[in-house]
Amino acid sequence: MAKPALGRGLGALLSGSSPAGKPTTPAPPATNLSSPAPMPDTHERVQRVALGRIRPCSFQPRKKFSEEALRELADSIKEQGIVQPLIVRDKGDHFELIAGERRWRASQLLGLPEVPVIVRQADDRAVLELALIENLQRENLNPIEEAHGYAQLIEQFQLKQEEVATKVGKSRAVVANALRLLRLVPAIQEALRDGLLSVGHAKVILGLPNEKQQKVAADRVLKDGLNVRQTEALVARFQTRGLTGKGPGSITPLATDANVVDLENRLRERFGTKVRLKYSQGKGSVEIAFFNDDDLERILQIVGVKVD
């Protein structure tokens, strides 16, 4: 099944994009791109600029680029040229990339003297939104890069999670759960960034109440190669207050029903925050954590409570 496109798409964020069905001016034959990008319309002009005048964008959420993939793209460009122009904005003494950093890097590998570009007007927020959407559509971001991108939109431009979700075409729960990953200790974030831990592992580990427990659990997962279900069972054995004093890797067994642990994890997924479920013989309580007024309002909306 084809994966649906994200909400607004790349073109909607750039004022020069053509509406569906409107004829577009094709790019010159001197060019290639391994993935889609906004096509120029009849009001735009493709021009060639010196490669050395183009700088990467500071808002680019993607920090790691596969050398092998860049080399493959460079080989493709060498054979066919750059089919789709880079999108840039004029910064006076240089041009800043809006879209097309992989093509720019591959062109550097080839030592190209110049590349085709389209110059557009865009403010910082539009550039960050576009960079996020471009990478999310192509699934180029690792989970931590994606989370940092959302966080930057929220912190730098004072957006709410719901607004960020709308802009990038994701559900609010997806954004909230991604942001939760930034609460992990740096070492676990790095393992997640490198693909040593999955998002499923990370969500389970986030259920532990402190960083020390999280680190011990992650180390155990990596050492023993535990899958997500096995990680859930491991987390269920941690006592509420954490590790004993018997050593850095010791844990105290806790007689927790695996079904309760599973339900607790599903609640965390639904609310996009830390959830604690206490259950015993048909009685108990559910504790849902929030970290600011916007977070509380979001949770209330999920459970259907309107704030006057």
Active site residues: 101
Do residues 16 and 120 make contact, with C-beta atoms less than 8 angstroms apart? yes
How many whole angstroms separate alpha carbon 31 and alpha carbon 47? 12
Look up residue 208 and give its two tokens.
Answer: 């532990």
Please classify residue 91 by burial: count the beta carbons closer than 10 Å to its beta carbon, then call 0-12 exposed, 13-18 middle and 19+ buried: exposed
Q: What is the dihedral of CA 168, 173, 177, 179, to 10 degrees?
A: 50
Give me the DSSP letters along 183-232.
GS-HHHHHHHHTTSS-HHHHHHHTTSSSHHHHHHHHHHHHHHT--HHHHH
Token look-up 């007689």 returns: 255
